[in-house]
Chain A
C-alpha cells in the first residue's frame, strides 16, 4: 500500500470516528433531558393528576384532566382545519408541479413553515379573537392549524409524487377522469404516508405554547366547549412552572412528562407507518 493510500485510509477512519462521535454528542443532551423530565415528572403522576381539575395552591389533589382533554381537542380542531386544506393543496401541487402558481404556493408553504409560532398566534388573535371579543378553543385550533398546514402540504405533495406513475396511467387508460383517478386511486395508495405527515404535523403543534397564550387562553375548569377558552397542557405547564409553589412545580413536571409522551407516541406511530409504507411500496 502506498503511503498516499495509507494516509487516505487513516483520514477515512478518522472521519468515520468523528461521525460516530457526532451521534454520541447528540445523544448526551437527549439523555440528560429525558432523565431530568422523568426524574421530576414521573413521580408526580398519580391518579388525581389524570382525573382532577386544577386546585388552588395549598390544596392537594389538583390535576390536569382538563388540560389533557384540552390539548387533544385543540390538536383535533387543528387537524380539522389543516387536513382538508393541506391535503387538497398537496394534490394540486403534485398534479401541476411545474406551473407558476404551484411554485408560488410551494414558496408560501415554506415561508409559513418558517414563521415563528408566536407570530402566527398574533395573527390568529387578530383574526379570530378580536372580532368576536372572546378567547376560544376554535381560535387556538386555527392557530395550530396554520402551523400544521405547511407540513401537511409538503408531505402530501411528496408522497403523491412517489406513487408509481403506472398506477395513474393505468387509471387514466381505463377512462377515469383526472379527479376520479386522483381521489379513488392515487390518494388511497398514498394514504398511509399522508396520515404519517398529518401525525408528524400533530406532533409538532402539540408542543406549542406561545400561539395558545393569546388564542385559547386557558381554563381552570373542565370545559369541552370549543367556543370558550380551553385548558391545554403546554399553557398549564408554563403557568405552573413560573409560579413559586413546589406542588405546582411538581405538577408542571408531570404535565411536561405527559406532553413528551404524547408527542413521542405520535412520532413513533408516524414512523411505524412510514416503515409499513416502505415495505408495501417496495416492488
Chain B
C-alpha cells in the first residue's frame, strides 16, 4: 500500500542517515591515546568557561586557517564543567575563569598546568528609573546590596559615594547567576575581599548560596532580566554590558579610586600583579591596590595536562597556547578583552617547556 511503503521509506531514510559514518579522513576517534600522522585531520575536545568563548572561538578558527588539519572543538559549558570534564578525561583541555583549587587538583590525580590567556572584567549593571549617568559603587555598598542589607536605591550609603545623583526610592531588585560561573567566582572573590561578612556568609565559588535576589541563567539571562526590571542590579562580563548597551557602574578599588572597566584599567590590574605572579599562575587580581586598576578584573586560564598521554595532541595544544599568548593577542582587544602583560607572557613561555612531550 502506498502510505505504508512511504512511511517505511521515511523510517528507513532516518535510520540510514543515522548509520552513516564519516567519510572524511578522521584520526582514530579517541581523546586519550592515539597517534595520528600529520596529514589526517585531528580533532581535539575542550570544555570550560563561557566568558572567553568569543575569543577562543576566534582563535581556534584562526589557528585552523594556519593549520587546516587541526579541529579544536571547544564547548563553553562553564568553568566548573571544564575542570570536571578535564579531571574525568572526557576532554583533552579545560578552561576556567577561576583557578583550580588544591582539592580539585588533587581530585584530578595528575599535574595540571594553568596558562592565562586573556584578561577580562566583570561589571555591575543596573537599571535605575531616572538615572542615566554612570554611578559609583564601593565594595561595601555592593556587598551589602548582595547581602540584602541595602534594599533601596536612595539608601544614604549609595548617595554618599554618588554626589549629585538623584536616586528614586525604588526597591533594589538583586540579580545573580543561577548557574555556576567563573563570572560569579570573580565577583564573589572581590566581595569576599572587601567584606568579611560576605566572606563568612557566602564565600567564594562558582556557585553560591545567595542571601538575596533572583538567579538568572547565563550572563545573557542576567543582562536580559536587569534590562527589563526597573530597579535591578546584576553583574556580567564587560562584553555583555557593551553588547546589550546596559549602563554599568564604576567600582572602587583598594587604592580608593572609582574605576570604570576599560581595557586599560583591566590591564593595569594585571600589570600590578605581574610582579608577584606565582609560578603556577594561579592568582587572583581582584581588588587591586594599583592606581587606576579595575578591581573586578581577572585572568582566564587554559588548563593543560603536564604529562599528556596523547603526545601528538599535547604538541598541538602547546603550540596553540604559544601562538595564543603571542600573535593571538592582537585579536583580543576588538572583542572586548585586555591582552596579557608582556612579563606574564614571558613567564608562560617558560612554563610551556614544562609540558612533557
Contacts and interface: CB of A to CB of B under 8 A. Distances in A.
Chain A–chain B contact at Cβ < 8 A: yes
Contacts of A245: 54, 243
A269 interface: yes
Interface stretch (B3-11, B167-175, B281-289, B346-354): B3-11
A135 B58 contact: no
A229 B45 CA distance: 9
A80 B18 contact: yes
A51 interface: no
A56 B54 contact: yes
A42 B59 CA distance: 30
Contact of A56 (B4, B18, B61, B220): B61
Interface in A53-94: 54-59, 69, 72-77, 79-80, 83
A225 B29 contact: yes
Interface in B55-84: 57-58, 60-61, 71, 73-77
A226 B23 CA distance: 12
Nearest to A241: B220
A1 to B, nearest CB: 51
A281 interface: no
Contacts of A202: 14
B29 A228 contact: yes
Interface in B197-235: 217-221, 223
A129 B3 CA distance: 39
Nearest to A270: B7
A141 B15 CA distance: 12
B154 interface: no
A242 B57 contact: no
B356 interface: no
Nearest to B62: A56
Given A56-B54, A195-B8, A273-B7, A72 B30 contact: no
A5 B251 CA distance: 75
Interface residues of A, number: 53
Contacts of A269: 7, 10
Nearest to B58: A56
A251 B201 CA distance: 41
A146 interface: no
B8 A73 contact: no
Given A79-B14, A220-B57, A134 B19 contact: no
Given A130-B88, A224-B22, A228-B29, A244 B244 contact: yes
B264 to A, nearest CB: 21
Contacts of A276: 3
Contact of A195 (B11, B26, B75, B76): B11
B240 A57 contact: no
A68 to B, nearest CB: 11
Contact of B57 (A56, A73, A76): A56
A267 interface: no
B32 interface: yes
Interface in A180-239: 191-192, 195, 198, 202, 213, 217-229, 239
A198 to B, nearest CB: 7
A244 B223 contact: yes
A13 B352 CA distance: 81
A17 interface: no
B31 A134 contact: yes
Given A57-B57, A133-B32, A244-B239, A73 B18 contact: yes
Contacts of A77: 18
A273 B50 CA distance: 44
Contact of A55 (B47, B61, B76, B77): B61
A189 B4 CA distance: 10
A243 interface: yes
A76 B10 CA distance: 11
A75 B75 contact: no
B26 A225 contact: yes
B73 A242 contact: no
B275 interface: no
Contacts of A136: 29
Given A80-B15, A241-B220, A73 B58 contact: no
Among B16, B73, B217: residue with most chain A CB under 10 A: B73
A5 B31 CA distance: 78
A182 B57 CA distance: 55
A192 B4 contact: yes
B198 to A, nearest CB: 27
A202 B11 CA distance: 10
A142 to B, nearest CB: 12
7 contacts: A58-B54, A79-B14, A79-B18, A213-B77, A244-B240, A244-B244, A269-B10
Given A80-B15, A134-B90, A244-B223, 20 more contacts: A56-B61, A72-B17, A75-B14, A76-B14, A76-B15, A79-B18, A129-B90, A133-B32, A135-B90, A195-B7, A195-B11, A198-B11, A218-B75, A220-B60, A224-B23, A225-B26, A229-B45, A242-B219, A246-B243, A269-B10
Interface of B: 1, 3-4, 7-8, 10-11, 14-24, 26, 29-32, 43, 45, 47, 50, 53-54, 57-58, 60-61, 71, 73-77, 88-91, 217-221, 223, 239-240, 243-244, 334-335
